[in-house]
Amino acid sequence: MIIYRQSARVLVQGITGKQGTFWTQKMMECGTRVVAGVNPKRAGEQHLGVPVYATAKAAMAESPFDVAVMFIPPAMAREAALDAIEAGARTVVILTEHIPARDVIAIHHAAARHRTRVIGPNTAGIVTPGEGFVGIMPGHNPNIFQPGEVGVISRSGSLGTLICLNLTRAGFGQSAFLGIGGDPMIGTTTRDALQALDEDPRTRAVVLVGEIGGAMEEAAAEYAAGMAKPVVSFIAGRASPPGKKMGHAGAIVSGTLGSYDGKRRALEAAGVAVADTPAEIPGLLGAGPRDRLRQPAAHALSV
Amino acid sequence: MNFLEHVAKARVLAPAGIPVPRAVHCGTPEEAQAAFAELGPCMVKAQVPTGKRGKAGGIKPANTAEEARARAADILGMQIDGHPVGSVLLEEQARIAREFYAAILIDTVGRRPLVLFSTEGGMDIEEVAATRPDALRRHRVDLDSGFDAAAARAMLSGLDLSGAEEQVAGILVALYATSGRIDAELIEINPLALLADGRVVALDCKLTLDDSAAFRQTDLAGSAAEEPMTDLEREGAANGLKFIQLDGDVGVLANGAGLTMTTMDVISHCGGRPANFLEIGGEAYTKSEAALKLVLSNPGVKSLVVNFCGAFARTDVMAEGVVTAWKRLAPDIPVFFSIHGTGEDEAVRLVREGLGQEPFDLMEDAVQAAVDAAHSGAHPAAQSQASGGAAR
């Protein structure tokens, strides 16, 4: 599961912490079905009206869940992720930033063996307006998120929030927001997310928010070339100096690899309209290069 | 974090059983002169965390004690690729028969450790990949099976190593094991030399450790090479803020890496030049006061754009820090805000009441105003008017 659905039952690992508590409340207010939490020291208690277990495995036995979301510090992230994966979570959403690379590799390895979908690490989470959200996004804010038909993919939570806000103001609601994470090794790539939105019947157009560094936008462009749904993109980092890590460990340009120009060329060659600034995105969606958006059916593409 | 050659060899390669030349680490020409008595004819090698030493004249032979002193004196006065040379490594001279290449790194696309070996050492691995792909072997390690001598032999099969196959296989296995133990992002031995006497020895070593693993590699992390940073960048790092000083005049304060990069892009798109990158993402969003100080300390800044879009980060908390710091520092430059997302209403109220400022609805408009102000050298008195035109 990449797109959040209200039918999914959610386990919150680290539910009793400050951030875990705050965001679990926000998720619940938004309609997310949080069924249980994990904190080894508080097992047996109730927190925010749901039972707390020592491990994800113990939670699965009594309060089955589909999605685990982790409010866990980097040093303990590996253990928590493996617990959720081995417990049988279908999807694990890893919000944690700065997990050691070797631990990330171990997590992805275990996830592949158990066929678990990993979103992140270093993601802000996923939002489906009108259904709920999992993570640390303002999914409960109607100025930013409204139900609609545009799917949004972003590595960054803050930039993704800005893009959704711009869309909502321009009258484009969202079918789903997919925060995939700013780390170099993420479980769900831009291409995976694009495919999920392409296959989603409620999504009629996609906004792909990329960043310099890596080759995920190039891989996504290959997929986009075969899509019927229109795709509009913005790539952050055009003005960033090469050879420097720009906060996201993934956002580093070395040589020509991961450069802005390379990504833009690949996307444009695939028929994707690339915006120079975030404010241009709604305009490109409304009058995109693809014929489908100019068809009368495009009128349905609104809030 | 990066490491100097002498640290990588003494602290990582030698303990892993990978042969390295006899060597003495020296901080002064006199120490180098004394070391010669122990080593005999040797190489004097600048200790800087960059691969451009040889071409820059940072590696020189010495055949007498006096030469060792003189070469060390020359090299200790050098600056290579921006790094002042703080010390030299004197190493016994090697009679090299062949040069190989070996490395363990993290393949981010395959999400696995990657073992690299080439029979063409002494040159950039990118160049080998482009010109001699037949000389390069790549092995992506499966975590279940690991990387043992049999896997190393299989990887090397078909390459002519002049009889050094077993030694090289042993070195690759040891290198792989140690890379995992120390959380290495990259260990590269180039060249891995086959000597005239048949021994295989690591002549150089480049080591990069995973910054995120510093908490469990405290011993080794304490020996990391100092990163080249400006004073302001160092001050930022001490406060847990990732600050990169740039040469423009529009200061940037935004939350999250993606939004910060985008703010810089829009500054550039509007005809301006960003003065900095500064990340106050994640938990660092509570440090907006310290962050603002850093941005304003940059002497090039003529105007400032504050662009907050709260998801995890609460814009009210960030705005409170900015307003407090602004009042105390009373900087003589104009500032332009755009604020949306978590805590937006309270943040806007704080800015309005605290600074008499009306945030712009679109970040593009806030950025354009900041760029225009930097160009015209507009004074703070002009800003309320400037922002009034596009008020929310």
For residue B277, give the nearest of A99, A104, A246 by CB distance.
A246
CA distance A62 to chain B (A): 31
pLDDT at residue A254 tops 70: no
Cα nearest neighbour of A244 on chain B: B244
CA distance A137 to chain B (A): 5
The yes-or-no answer to whether B22-92 and B96-221 have a common fold is no
- Cβ proximity of B384 and B357 under 8 Å: yes
Put simply, the answer to whether A162 touches B309 (Cβ < 8 Å) is: yes
What mean pLDDT comes out for the span A136-153? 94
pLDDT at residue A46 tops 50: yes
Task: Give me the pLDDT at residue B192, please.
Answer: 98
The string of pLDDT tens digits covering residues A11-38 is 999 999 999 999 999 999 999 999 999 9
Put simply, the answer to whether B183 touches A234 (Cβ < 8 Å) is: no
Q: Which of B188, B233, B289, B344 is catalytic?
A: B188
Among B124, B211, B262, B270, the residue to mutate for chain A (most A Cβ within 10 A): B262
Put simply, the answer to whether A246 touches B113 (Cβ < 8 Å) is: no
Residues of A forming the active site: 248
Residues of chain B neighbouring A246 (CB-CB closer than 8 A): 244, 257, 260-261, 277, 279
CA–CA gap between residue A15 and residue B161 (Å, rounded): 57
Q: What is the share, in percent, of chain B residues with pLDDT greater than 90?
A: 75
Cα nearest neighbour of A235 on chain B: B262
List CB contacts of B9: < 8 A, sequence separation 6 or more: B20, B23, B202, B205
CATH 3.30.2310.20 fits B96-221, yes or no: no
Task: Give me the pLDDT at residue A292, please.
Answer: 39
CA–CA gap between residue A28 and residue A13 (Å, rounded): 15
pLDDT at residue B346 tops 70: yes
Task: Give me the pLDDT at residue B287, please.
Answer: 85
CA distance B279 to chain A (A): 6
Q: Of the candidates B350, B348, B384, which has an alpha carbon nearest to the alpha carbon of residue B369?
A: B384
**What is the CATH code of the structural domain delimited by B231-390?**
3.40.50.261
Put simply, the answer to whether B363 touches A238 (Cβ < 8 Å) is: no
Put simply, the answer to whether A248 touches B215 (Cβ < 8 Å) is: no
Task: Give me the pLDDT at residue A103, please.
Answer: 98
Helices (runs of H) and strands (runs of E) counted in chain B: 14, 18
CA–CA gap between residue B392 and residue B390 (Å, rounded): 7
The string of pLDDT tens digits covering residues B109-142 is 889 999 999 999 988 888 888 899 899 999 999 9
Cα nearest neighbour of A250 on chain B: B108
Task: Give me the pLDDT at residue A241, please.
Answer: 82
Write down the residue that tokens 């480049």 correspond to. B206
Q: What is the share, in percent, of chain A residues with pLDDT greater than 90?
A: 85
Q: Of the candidates B176, B168, B52, which has an alpha carbon nearest to the alpha carbon of residue B119?
A: B168
- Cβ proximity of A67 and A126 under 8 Å: no
pLDDT at residue A289 tops 50: no
Q: Which of B101, B120, B233, B344 is catalytic?
A: B101
Q: Which residue has the higher pLDDT, B352 or B283?
A: B352
Q: Which two tokens stand for residue A27?
A: 């998720």
- Cβ proximity of B142 and B115 under 8 Å: no
Residues of chain A neighbouring B266 (CB-CB closer than 8 A): 277-278
Cα nearest neighbour of B364 on chain A: A279
CA distance B30 to chain A (A): 37
pLDDT at residue B166 tops 80: yes
pLDDT at residue A300 tops 50: no
Among B109, B185, B241, B309, the residue to mutate for chain A (most A Cβ within 10 A): B309
CA–CA gap between residue A210 and residue A177 (Å, rounded): 14
Put simply, the answer to whether A214 touches B260 (Cβ < 8 Å) is: no
**CB neighbours (10 Å) of residue B231?**
9
Helix B363-376 vs helix B257-269: angle between axes, to the nearest 10 degrees?
50
For residue B277, give the nearest of A105, A160, A240 by CB distance.
A240
Instruction: Indicate if B188 belongs to the active site.
Output: yes
Q: Of the candidates A225, A195, A227, A232, which has an alpha carbon nearest to the alpha carbon of residue A210?
A: A232
The string of pLDDT tens digits covering residues B313-326 is 889 999 999 999 99
Among A116, A159, A238, A254, the residue to mutate for chain B (most B Cβ within 10 A): A159
pLDDT interval class at B99 (50, 70, 90): very high
Q: Of the candidates A28, A245, A128, which has an alpha carbon nearest to the alpha carbon of residue B210?
A: A245
pLDDT interval class at B384 (50, 70, 90): very low
The DSSP string of A133-174 is EEESS-TT-TTT--EEEEEEEES-HHHHHHHHHHHHHTT--E
Cα nearest neighbour of A74 on chain B: B212
Q: What is the largest CA-CA distance in chain A?
A: 58
The string of pLDDT tens digits covering residues B7-55 is 999 999 999 999 999 999 999 999 999 999 999 999 999 999 887 788 8
CA–CA gap between residue B224 and residue B185 (Å, rounded): 14
CA–CA gap between residue A165 and residue A173 (Å, rounded): 9
Put simply, the answer to whether A101 touches B261 (Cβ < 8 Å) is: no
Task: Give me the pLDDT at residue A250, please.
Answer: 53
**What is the CATH code of the structural domain delimited by B22-92?**
3.30.1490.20
pLDDT interval class at A253 (50, 70, 90): low
Cα nearest neighbour of A279 on chain B: B364
Q: Rounded to two decimals, what is the model's pTM? A: 0.91
Task: Give me the pLDDT at residue A116, please.
Answer: 98
pLDDT interval class at A251 (50, 70, 90): low
CA distance B263 to chain A (A): 9
What mean pLDDT comes out for the span B214-225? 96
Domain ranges within chain B, ordered by starting residue: 22-92, 96-221, 231-390
- This model of the complex carries an ipTM of 0.90
Least-confidence region, from A294-303, B169-178, B303-312: A294-303
Q: Of the candidates B224, B208, B180, which has an alpha carbon nearest to the alpha carbon of residue B7?
A: B224
Residue A104 has phi, psi (to 5 degrees) of -65, -40
Put simply, the answer to whether A279 touches B364 (Cβ < 8 Å) is: yes
Put simply, the answer to whether A155 touches B258 (Cβ < 8 Å) is: yes
CA–CA gap between residue B257 and residue B235 (Å, rounded): 19
